[in-house]
């Protein structure tokens, strides 16, 4: 089909054997894959295809019309390779056979990609309202895969979960650590993956031994999944990343599923995982603070700097910066944004500034404090919204908590808390105010509390703070 080394190829399919085989085919051709989320509006995918100058898109036929229309409005339409459906690989085989009959492919040598060659471009939400493409090389990915091999000691008998969508950086561990060790990769469909009642029997029946996902779905399984009914003896590692895991839900999960070891993995898409922390075998009942994000992975280096760019000492807060082979090449076609995010020191070392605020504890672990962009000034005080969420999780009626800040002409900033919990009597506004006043400084107490059946999430399973900004 003319795909050559250095090209970008889009993949717009539901998670399936067809999609996985397509990704490996793209890499074998020396190209980079650009995974598209088939569940988002075609306008977003059209922008990504146009922005990344994708030359070909492999996709399910059902998504073709909408994407073709959006791409046509932006410019030239790339070559489309369509499958009737997805599943066990039959649709991909049939599509390739049809193309072969129509135009037999030439015999070509398989290109050998260099470590610095582009392997994939993962698009994440951008501050401008447009998604931005994180460029990851083969070295970026393989340095992380090798670290996983050393740390978790996978073997051919393991069965890895593939819970994360293919456009989410968690999928790099799923796909490539399993294949490196000849292990099985168990694809978790979107329907099953979002259902805390269906996941526990699925994990037991599939004999999954290494599970990796965001904390959100693990927390829901702990609350509603009746985990104690199912055999968890095959499960030896539970890995989680992407957001803070509230301690009360982590404790409940560990109590109901005690066989595996639990690991907190931290890192943005730009670095993949860069720190990790093993959760103790028993979480003390009195603990309410989230666990640290741990120490640096061996394939990267970490610095914590203040606003002047100086390294901070233990006990002081600063921004976490990452260097080493795990750090992205940059943002696709955004050199100025790349320059702002990637700092170069006097020795020429590149450091990615995550924008995450951490403190180094007495054991040398990094403790996540929150995001630089989730810190607001209120009544002259610096307020970290994540700290309010931690306090709200201490309330027995609260199962999920998300806090946002909105501008207000009179007060400067108003703090809104969105909560969900089990059905039953919910605490009143005054009760919640009183509870927060007992657990937080007065200037951090939210102005508004809104109860919802469930909080909105992104396609990657994280709380969707942007959607909450639009809720009255």
Q: What is the CATH number of the domain that holds 186?
A: 3.40.50.980
pLDDT above 70 as % of the chain:
98
- Residue 324 is part of a domain; what is its CATH number? 2.30.38.10
Does 81 reside within a domain? yes
Is the domain of 421 the same as that of 447?
yes
Q: What is the pTM of this model?
A: 0.87
- Which residue, of 266, 292, 326, is where some domain finishes? 266
Would you state the pLDDT for residue 375?
77
Q: What is the 3-state secondary structure (H, E, C) of the chain?
A: CCCCCCCEEEEECCCCHHHHHHHHHHHHCCCEEEECCCCCCHHHHHHHHHHCCCCEEEEEHHHHHHHHHHHHHHCCCCEEEEECCCCCCHHHHHHHHHHHHHCCCCCCCCCCCCCCCEEEEEEECCCCCCCEEEEEEHHHHHHHHHHHHHHHCCCCCCEEEECCCCCCCCHHHHHHHHHHCCCEEEECCHHHHCCCCCHHHHHHHCCCCEEEECHHHHHHHHHHCCHHHCCCCCCCEEEECCCCCCHHHHHHHHHHCCCCEEEEEECCCCCCCCEEEECCCCCCCCCCCCCCCEEECCCCEEEEECCCCCECCCCCEEEEEEECCCCCCEECCCHHHHHHHEEECCCCCEEEEEEEEEEECCCCCEEEEEEHHHEEEECCEEEEHHHHHHHHCCCCCCCEEEEEEEEECCCEEEEEEEEECCCCCCCCHHHHHHHHHHHCCHHHCCCEEEECCCCCECCCCCECHHHHHCCC
Residue 310, domain extent: 301-369
Smallest CA-to-CA distance from 133 within 15, 232, 47 is with 47
Please answer whether residues 459 and 165 qualify as being in contact, where contact means their C-beta atoms are separated by less than 8 angstroms.
yes
Q: pLDDT of the chain along its 472 residues, tens only?
A: 889 999 999 999 999 999 999 999 999 999 999 999 998 889 889 999 999 999 999 999 999 988 988 988 888 789 999 999 999 999 999 999 988 888 888 888 889 999 999 999 999 876 566 889 999 999 999 999 999 999 999 999 999 999 999 999 999 999 999 999 999 999 999 899 999 999 999 999 999 999 999 998 999 999 999 999 999 999 999 999 988 899 999 999 999 999 999 999 999 999 999 999 999 999 999 999 999 999 999 999 999 999 888 999 999 999 999 999 999 999 999 999 999 999 999 999 999 999 999 999 999 999 998 888 787 877 767 788 988 999 999 999 999 999 999 887 666 789 999 999 876 789 999 999 999 999 888 888 999 999 999 999 888 888 999 899 888 7
121-138 residue pLDDT tens = 999 876 566 889 999 999
Could you tell me if residue 3 is inside a domain?
A: no
pLDDT value of residue 258:
93
Q: Is residue 314 part of a domain?
A: yes
Q: How far apart are CA 243 and CA 219, in angstroms?
A: 12
Looking at the fold, whether 47 and 77 belong to one and the same domain comes out as: yes
Verify that 333 and 432 share a domain, yes or no: no
Q: State the pLDDT at residue 380.
A: 67
Pairing type for strands 412-420 and 350-360 reads unpaired
323 backbone dihedrals φ, ψ, rounded to 5°:
-130, 165
Q: Considering the domain boundaries, does residue 139 fall inside one?
A: no
Q: In total, how many domains does the chain have?
A: 4
Residue indicated by tokens 């932006």: 74
Q: Are residues 37 and 86 in the same domain?
A: yes
Domain with 460 in it: what CATH number?
A: 3.30.300.30
Residues 233 and 175 grouped into a single domain: yes
Please tell me whether residues 421 and 465 are part of one structural domain. Answer: yes
d(CA 358, CA 305): 10
The answer to the question of residue 119 being in a domain is no
Q: What is the pLDDT of residue 29?
A: 95
Inside any domain, residue 179: yes
Domain-embedded: residue 274: no
> Does any domain span residue 279?
no
Question: Could you tell me if 14 and 57 lie in one domain?
Answer: yes
């Amino acid at each position: 089909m003319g795909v050559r080394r250095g090209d970008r190829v889009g993949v717009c399919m539901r998670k399936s054997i067809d999609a996985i085989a397509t990704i490996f085919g793209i890499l074998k051709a020396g190209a980079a894959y650009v995974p598209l989320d088939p569940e988002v509006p075609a306008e977003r995918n059209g922008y990504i295809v146009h922005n990344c100058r994708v030359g070909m898109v492999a996709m399910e036929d059902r998504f073709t019309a909408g994407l073709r229309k959006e791409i046509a409005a932006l410019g030239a339409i790339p070559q489309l390779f369509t499958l009737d459906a997805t599943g066990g690989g039959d649709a991909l085989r049939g599509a390739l056979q049809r193309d072969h009959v129509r135009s037999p492919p030439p015999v070509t040598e398989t290109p050998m990609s260099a470590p610095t060659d582009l392997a994939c471009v993962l698009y994440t939400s951008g501050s401008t309202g447009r998604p931005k493409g994180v460029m990851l090389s083969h070295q970026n990915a393989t340095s992380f895969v090798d670290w996983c091999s050393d740390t978790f000691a996978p073997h051919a008998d393991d069965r890895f979960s593939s819970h994360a969508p293919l456009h989410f950086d968690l999928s790099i561990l799923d796909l490539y650590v399993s294949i490196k060790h000849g292990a099985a990769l168990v694809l978790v469909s979107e329907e099953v993956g979002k259902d805390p009642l269906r996941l526990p029997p699925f994990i037991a029946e599939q004999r999954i031994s290494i599970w990796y996902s965001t904390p959100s779905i693990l927390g829901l399984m702990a609350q509603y999944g009746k985990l104690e009914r199912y055999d968890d003896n095959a499960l030896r590692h539970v890995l989680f990343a992407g957001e803070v895991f509230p301690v009360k839900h982590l404790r409940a999960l560990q109590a109901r599923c005690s066989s595996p070891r639990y690991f907190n993995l931290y890192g943005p898409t730009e670095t993949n995982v860069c720190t990790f922390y093993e959760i103790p075998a028993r979480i003390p009942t009195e603990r309410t603070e989230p666990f640290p994000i741990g120490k640096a992975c061996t394939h990267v280096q970490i610095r914590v700097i203040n606003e002047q760019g100086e390294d901070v000492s233990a006990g002081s807060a600063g921004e976490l910066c990452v260097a080493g082979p795990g750090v992205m090449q940059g943002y696709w076609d955004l050199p100025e944004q790349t320059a702002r995010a990637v700092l170069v020191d006097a020795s020429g070392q590149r450091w990615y500034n995550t924008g995450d605020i951490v403190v180094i504890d007495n054991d040398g672990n990094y403790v996540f404090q929150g995001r630089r962009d989730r810190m607001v000034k209120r009544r002259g005080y610096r307020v970290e919204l994540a700290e309010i969420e931690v306090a709200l999780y201490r309330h027995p009626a609260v199962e999920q908590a998300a806090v946002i800040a909105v501008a207000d002409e009179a007060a400067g900033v108003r703090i809104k808390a969105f909560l969900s919990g089990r059905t039953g009597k919910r605490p009143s506004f005054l009760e919640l105010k009183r509870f927060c006043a007992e657990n937080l400084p007065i200037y951090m107490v939210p102005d508004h509390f809104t109860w919802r059946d469930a909080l909105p999430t992104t396609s990657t399973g994280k709380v969707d703070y942007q959607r909450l900004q639009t809720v009255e």
